[in-house]
Structure formats: structure tokens, C-alpha cells
Amino acid sequence: MKCQHEGCNYEADADHLECTIKNDQGEDVVDGYYCGEHAALHGFCPCCGDYWGGVTSFEDHGFCDHCWDELKADEDRYGDYDCDDFDDSNEPIGSCDVCEINIYADDDDGSGLCDQCRFYSELGCPEQRASE
């Protein structure tokens, strides 16, 4: 199944999220398939696929309240844990211009942004780490 966002070329099943809405009986009904990058643009949480479009908290951070709480709990538990920090052969080449997290050669696209800031920039959303 191909991501239904116009112009997106993701086709692998693993790259898609089954996005659901509730019908009149309160049952989940599949409304579409989007990759994690485009789910939020269509009002779906990129983690669980539930529809949250128009909800202020979703619009603020791009995740449903449930997934956001889990992400925050993981951040509290693990901090800014990054596996690359423990690889001596992979030293950071700089830091993100927005959130100042380390950027490594493997992830550098020349924009001066980390993956997350680049993702939110492409969505036209405010950067998330800086606002926390």
C-alpha cells in the first residue's frame, strides 16, 4: 500500500501507518494509510494512527495525548540518550541550529538541522525540543 499523501513515494508496508477514525458506533474504521512523515498532516497521530486533527494539543506537538505522554515519559526516563554517543568512531560534526542536539556525519544533509527539527520544519510546525 502506498502512502496516500500526494507526491509521497513510500510503498513498503512497514513504512505505513493504518490511520483510523471512530464511526458512529465508536468503532475504529480505517480511513487511510500514511507514512509517519505525512500522518500528522492529515490529522493522524504518527505513532498510533488515531485521528486527532483539530485537537489543540495534537496541533501543538503533532502527537495524540496518549503517545505524547509516553514519549515524554521515555524522555524523562532516558534523557537525551543517543546510541551514537557511545560509538567512539562516530564523533559529532556539529550541532543542530535549532535545538543544539549533536549532528553526526551519517545524518548530516547540510541544512544544519537534526532529523527531528528537519521533519518539523518540512511540516511547517514549530520545533518541538526547543519549546519544552
| pLDDT tens digits, one per residue of 63-107 | 899 988 888 887 766 665 544 444 445 577 888 888 777 887 777
Give mean pLDDT, residues 109-115: 83
What is the chain's mean pLDDT, rounded?
Answer: 76
pLDDT computed for residue 12 by the predictor: 53
Give percent of the chain above pLDDT 90.
2
Within this chain, do residues 43 and 17 fall inside the same structural domain, yes or no?
Answer: yes
- Global pTM reads 0.53
- Residue 132 domain flag: no
User: Among 13-22, 40-49, 68-77, 121-130, whose mean pLDDT is lowest?
Assistant: 121-130
Number of domains, the chain: 2
Type and span of the H or E element at 60: helix 56-61
Note whether 73 and 85 are same-domain residues.
Answer: no
